[in-house]
């Protein structure tokens, strides 16, 4: 559940950051970086949760 909350916060942060950058550059919102960073965050969360499960199994 923690991983899902972290990923949701990551996606919201990416959307806000890209939106602010597009406003500062007086351009349109580019959805490419939003999608790319969101998928990268999801992959990172999946890898981190998998590593965490492996370490928890070794400790027990």
For residues 35-56, give the mean pLDDT.
86
**pLDDT higher than threshold 70 for residue 1:** no
pLDDT at 44: 86
**C-alpha separations of 28 from 13, 14, 21, 32, 46 in Å:** 18, 16, 10, 12, 31
- What is the number of domains present in the chain? 1
Per-residue pLDDT of 26-37, as tens digits, reads 888 878 888 888
pTM: 0.68
The boundaries of the domain holding residue 29 are: 1-58
């Amino acid at each position: 559940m923690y991983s899902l909350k972290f990923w949701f916060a990551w996606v919201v942060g990416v959307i806000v950051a890209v939106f602010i950058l597009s406003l500062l550059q007086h351009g349109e919102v580019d959805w490419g970086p939003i999608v790319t960073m969101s998928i990268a965050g999801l992959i990172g969360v999946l890898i981190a949760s998998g590593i965490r499960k492996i370490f928890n199994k070794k400790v027990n």
